[in-house]
Amino acid sequence: MAYTAVKDFLQDELDSIRESGLYKDEKIIRTPQGAEVDTSTGHELIMCANNYLGLADSEEIEQAVVDGLKTHGFGMASVRFICGTQDIHKELEDKITNWFGTEATILYTSCFDANTGLFETVLGPEDAIISDALNHASIIDGVRLCKATRKVYKHNDMADLEDKLRETQDSRFRMIATDGVFSMQGDEADLVGICDLADKYDAMVMVDDSHATGFLGPTGRGSVDKQGVIDRVDVITSTMGKALGGASGGFTTGRKEIIDILRQRSRPYLFSNTLAPPIVVGALTALDILQTRPELRERLHENTAYFRNRMTDLGFDIVPGDHPIVPIMIGDEKKNVALAQAVNARGVFVVAFSFPVVPRGEARIRVQMSAAHTREQLDRALAVFEEAGREQGVIS
Ligand SMILES: Cc1ncc(COP(=O)(O)O)c(C=O)c1O
């Protein structure tokens, strides 16, 4: 049997992943996602969710979803263009468009799909995509699917981006692709620099703002809002799976013709099921909440500043910045896992990130702040990090 050889090969791979401290276990949570959860190992304070605004267990969203289930049902059993478009799908697309002040929006079942469905639809072999070296896997995969020339510029390096723009002068169309906020570091793309270069070299700009939509910028519309470039960016992709209630779903918003062609040709949109009605209703409610309650993002930013400052005072190596993603750099994979385990054993739920999610030798614990965290919870987490960090020799 052919599988016998494959089985042995895969088992060896799995053993080596485990031996090098890179194996990812999944912990079981038995309650809704929130600041504290019950897990298979106890009651824990959670510090690793993308639940930035604390809406994952919002009673208001839950109630809207229950009501929405009654009015719009559970599933549509169809892709959008056959019989998978309800009034609420159009309502959500319009709401996102109006919020951003863009021209049009298209929904996907995830931002991963939004990214993999974008590039090959808009660009062809005569074109070029110029992509930041640390872009999310879904942008990388989307670029791989596209026949355009690919150039990767050094992370957030405007001089290197300019070199790549010069090298691709002969392309028909060009698109610069970047995360708005880089998920493993919590740092922001230099969007003003990127838009200036795009103007100079006549390129389009695409920003994936998954780790910023809902809470960065004066109106919470993301890094594009914070840096004042919404009207200079051609395409924004983002997720509903993080700040906007954290269930699932993604969208692409921007120029009308780009959105129109995606609706006609984008493969994850044409060949995958529509977003489930309860998810759409939940996202609509999440958007209402974040537009009317700026105090949620204010609390998130206060929590972030507090935690970042205290961790730095304790002697941890934190990637500087002001984003609620707080990467605690450890380096060595095994030491990283040991620290995460020591923190987990004290009732604080964190995850050790290692290769292939981050480069080898740059292992880290990525802590994430939420508006749901109270000051008491943050102090508890800090005390645990201090104790575990001393025990594991990470701080002195
Ligand atoms: C920058 C970025 N883009 C896209 C995604 C994928 O989003 P989704 O979960 O909606 O597929 C993520 C999620 O990890 C992300 O961090």
Residues of the chain with pLDDT under 70: none
Best residue among 50, 51, 52, 136 to mutate for probing ligand 1, ranked by most atoms within 8 Å of CB: 136
Tens of pLDDT, residue by residue over 35-72, are 999 998 899 999 999 999 999 999 999 999 999 999 99
- Please count the CA atoms within 13 angstroms of the CA of 294 that sit on its side-chain side: 6
* pLDDT at residue number 1: 72
Q: How far is the CA of 148 from the centre of ligand 1 (A)?
A: 23
Query: How many angstroms separate the CA atoms of 297 and 290, rounded?
Result: 8
pTM of the prediction?
0.96
* pLDDT at residue number 46: 93
Distances (CA, A) of 50 to 8, 245, 343: 37, 10, 19
Closest approach atom of ligand 1 to CA 136: 1
> CB under 8 Å, gap of 24 or more: what pairs does 69-75 form?
69/277, 69/278, 69/281, 72/277, 72/278, 72/280, 72/281, 73/277, 74/276, 74/277, 74/278, 75/273, 75/276, 75/277
* pLDDT at residue number 189: 98
Best residue among 107, 155, 239 to mutate for probing ligand 1, ranked by most atoms within 8 Å of CB: 239
Closest approach atom of ligand 1 to CA 113: 11
CB of 89 closer than 8 Å to CB of 275: yes
* pLDDT at residue number 87: 98
* pLDDT at residue number 360: 87
Q: How many residues does the chain have?
A: 396
* pLDDT at residue number 171: 98
User: Which residues have CB under 6 Å of ligand 1?
Assistant: 110-112, 136, 138, 179, 183, 208, 210-211, 239, 241, 250
Q: Which residues are catalytic?
A: 183, 211, 242
Q: How far is the CA of 115 from the centre of ligand 1 (A)?
A: 9
Best residue among 106, 112, 155, 279 to mutate for probing ligand 1, ranked by most atoms within 8 Å of CB: 112
Q: How far is the CA of 182 from the centre of ligand 1 (A)?
A: 11
Q: For the sheet containing 363-368, what is the strand order?
A: 325-331, 363-368, 352-353
* pLDDT at residue number 309: 98
Q: How far is the CA of 82 from the centre of ligand 1 (A)?
A: 27
DSSP structural state of residue 57:
T
* pLDDT at residue number 359: 87
Structure tokens at 313: 């005072």
Q: How far is the CA of 241 from the centre of ligand 1 (A)?
A: 8
